[in-house]
């Protein structure tokens, strides 16, 4: 299992912290077997969860020429027509994907094309499921354009726990559907804005996977 590069420093720091706690306990404090088992077990689970969060499993990309792949793992929490005021400044079809702490948090490009726009915005850290988190929270928008009809904006949104958005996209880059474009550390959400005539292929409550699940067709 591949570990995403942004997670390696955090994993090393957490490992050192766990080792320091165990050394301090066993060398400087009276030890009791029950407490020792609970402490070791708890720290092992904590370290496992940190490593698991930064996992990046290998997946064969489900290339769909006229489709929009999910840029994130998670659950669809909202589908609605909405005004998008950052880039398009018109009405778009919105699909929101909530990423829990148990999901893979590496994000990918939903379509082939050229990166037309990247916009980072600092903000609050509200619960990512809330609709207003799309604009009020720290977020990063990326627009990929294939042609005049096939253009997608997707927005990485930091959540209550997430405090770091990573984005590899730069304006002018040629990108491929399913390629990695970044990640959001520790829980978050991704909003996808599509043309109004896109044929949505998911429903609220559906579980989706990055590089695999088709959200809609142009």
What 3-state class would DSSP assign to 25?
helix
Question: Residues 84, 211: contact at Cβ < 8 Å?
Answer: no
Task: Please choose, from the candidates 172, 63, 184, the residue with its C-alpha nearest in 3D space to the C-alpha of residue 133.
Answer: 184
Task: Please choose, from the candidates 109, 105, 121, the residue with its C-alpha nearest in 3D space to the C-alpha of residue 188.
Answer: 105
Residues 104, 109: Cα–Cα separation, whole Å: 15
Annotated active-site residue in 70, 96, 134, 188: 188
In 54-105, alpha helices (H) = none
Our answer to whether residue 141 is catalytic in this structure is no
Extract the runs of DSSP E, i.e. beta strands, from 159-208: 164-167, 174-175, 180-185, 188-194, 199-200, 207-208
Question: Residues 143, 167: contact at Cβ < 8 Å?
Answer: no
Angle between the N-to-C axes of helices 8-28 and 33-53, in degrees from 0 to 180, rounded to the nearest 10: 170
Residues 80, 130: Cα–Cα separation, whole Å: 14
Give the catalytic positions in this structure: 188
């Amino acid at each position: 299992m591949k570990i995403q590069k942004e997670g390696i420093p955090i994993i090393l720091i957490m490992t050192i912290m766990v080792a320091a706690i165990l050394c301090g306990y066993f060398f400087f404090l009276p030890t009791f077997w029950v407490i020792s088992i609970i402490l070791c077990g708890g720290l092992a689970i904590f370290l496992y969860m940190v490593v698991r969060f930064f996992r990046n499993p290998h997946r064969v990309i489900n290339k769909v020429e006229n489709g929009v792949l999910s840029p994130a793992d998670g659950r669809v929490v909202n589908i609605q027509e909405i005004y998008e005021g950052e880039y398009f400044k018109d009405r778009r079809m919105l699909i929101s994907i909530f990423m829990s702490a148990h999901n893979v948090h590496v994000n990918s490009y939903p379509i082939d094309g050229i990166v037309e726009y990247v916009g980072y915005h600092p903000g609050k850290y509200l619960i990512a499921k809330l609709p207003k988190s799309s604009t009020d929270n720290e977020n990063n928008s990326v627009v990929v354009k294939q042609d005049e009809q096939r253009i997608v904006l997707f927005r990485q949104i930091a959540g209550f726990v997430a405090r770091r958005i990573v984005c590899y996209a730069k304006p002018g880059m040629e990108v491929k559907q399913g390629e990695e474009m970044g990640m959001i550390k520790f829980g978050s959400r991704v909003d996808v804005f599509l043309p109004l005539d896109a044929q949505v292929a998911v429903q609220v409550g559906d579980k989706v996977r990055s590089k695999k699940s088709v959200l809609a067709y142009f």
